[in-house]
Amino acid sequence: PASDPDLVERARAAKAALGDEVFILGHHYQRDEVIEFADTTGDSFKLAREAAARPEAAYIVFCGVHFMAESADILTSPDQTVILPDLAAGCSMADMAAIAQVEDAWADLQEAGVADVTIPVTYMNSSAAIKGFTGRLGGTICTSSNAKTALGWALEQRGDGRVADGSGKVLFLPDQHLGRNTYVRELGGSLEDCVVFDPHKPMGGLGVDALRRARMILWRGQCSVHGRFSVEAVEAARREIPAVNVIVHPECTYEVVERADYVGSTEKIIKTIAAAPAGSAWVVGTELNLVRRLAGQYPDKRIAFLEKNVCYCSTMNRIDLPHLVWALESLVEGRVVNPIRVDPQVAGHARTALDRMLALPG
C-alpha cells in the first residue's frame, strides 16, 4: 500500500531540517516506506561499516533490529547517538542465546576439558553481551557475508596456533544453520564434525565424548523466518517454474541450502538478481519485504517468494513510517527518543570481537 502522504511529507521535512546531523541506515528487510528515507541500505556487514564511517553524524537512526543498533553504538564514537525507532524491533534468533546460558555452556565445555581448544564465532545476530563474551575469549563476530573467512580464521587460529595438532573447535553462536552451512558447504568440513548444543539440557544434551569429538559446536538457535523454508517448496518451484534459479539466505536449513543454486547474504542476493539476464526466473528464500522490492524493481525478470506460508520478519516490520517520523521529529524538537547505549564494559569486549571481524581479509 502507498504510504500516507502526510507522513511522507513530515519525514521529508524533518530530514531536511536535520541535514547532516542525522544519518539513516536501512537494512534490506525494512519496509519500502522506510527504505525510501534511508541514506544507505545494506546487509548487516555493510551497515556496521557504514555506521563506523559516519563520524560527522551526531545521530544515526538505525532502521533495522536491536542487535544492529547495538553494534552501531559500539562502533561509533561516544558523542554519537544511535536511535532505534521502535525498541520492540528485536530478533528472535538473537533472543535464543542469553548471556547466562552462554556462560553456562562455556562452563560445560570447561568441565568436558575442551574450552581451552574452543574459540567462539558469533553471528552478528546476537546481543552485545554475547559479542562481549566472544571478544573476551579471543573469538570473532561474523555476518552472513563473511562467515567463511571468519570461521576459517577461527579454525586456523586454533589449528595452526595455540593447538598445533588441528584439534581446535569452534563454538558457533547462535545460528546453527549458518554455522553448519558455512563449515560444510563453504569450508568442505564434514557434517559428522558438527553437534548441536541445546542450552536447555545439561552438557548441551551431548555428553563429554560428543563434545570432545566435535569440531563445530553449534548453538541450538535459528531464524524464525528462514528456518521455515522447506525442501518441498524448493522442489515445487523446480517442478512449476521452467529453468528457475533458487537463491536462498544461509540462515536457511542445510537441506534447503543444499538444494539451492545460489546462497548468500541479502546484499549478495540483490547483486545476483540485478546481474541476471532479463527473462530469467528466480525464487528467493529470504525475507518478504526484500523479495517484493526486487520483484518490483525488475519487472523484466520473474521473481517469486520461495514459500507462501512464510511471512515477514515481524520485528523488522516494527519499524514503520510513523515510528521513523516520530524519531526524526523528536530530534528536530531537541529530544532523543529510543537511544541505544551499550554498557561500556560490555562494549569494550564486544568492540574487540567486532574489530576482529572488520580486520578479516576480503
144 binds ligand 13P (CB under 6 A): yes
CB of 257 to ligand 13P, least distance (A): 14
Interaction mask 249-288, ligand 13P, x per CB under 6 A: x-x-------------xx----------------------
Q: Of 40-48, 74-82, 110-118, 301-309, which part binds ligand 13P (CB under 6 A)?
A: 40-48
Q: How far apart are CA 362 and CA 359, in angstroms?
A: 9
**Residue 315, contacted partner among ligand SF4, ligand 13P, none, CB below 5-8 A by kind:** ligand SF4
CB 154 within 8 A of CB 136: no
Query: Which three-class secondary structure state does DSSP give residue 325?
Result: helix
Element (H, E) at 356: helix 344-359
Task: Spell out where the chain has E strands.
Answer: 22-27, 40-42, 59-63, 81-83, 118-123, 140-142, 169-173, 194-197, 216-219, 244-248, 262-263, 281-285, 302-305
**Residue 92, contacted partner among ligand 13P, ligand SF4, none, CB below 5-8 A by kind:** ligand SF4
Under rule CB under 6 A, how many of the chain's residues touch ligand 13P? 15
**Residue 44, contacted partner among ligand 13P, ligand SF4, none, CB below 5-8 A by kind:** ligand 13P
Q: How far apart are CA 199 and CA 101, in angstroms?
A: 6
125 binds ligand 13P (CB under 6 A): yes
Exactly one of 80, 122, 143, 181 binds ligand 13P (CB under 6 A); that residue is 143
**Residue 108, contacted partner among ligand SF4, ligand 13P, none, CB below 5-8 A by kind:** none
Residues 6+ apart with CB under 8 A from 153: 140, 360
Nearer to ligand SF4, 35 or 313 (CB): 313
Find out whether 29 is annotated in a ligand binding site.
no
Q: How far apart are CA 294 and CA 296, in angstroms?
A: 5
Q: How far apart are CA 168 and CA 118, in angstroms?
A: 6
Please report, in range form, the residues annotated as the binding site for [4Fe-4S] cluster.
91, 223, 313
Q: Write out the residues near ligand 13P by the rule CB under 6 A.
A: 28, 43-45, 65, 91, 125, 143-145, 223, 249, 251, 265-266
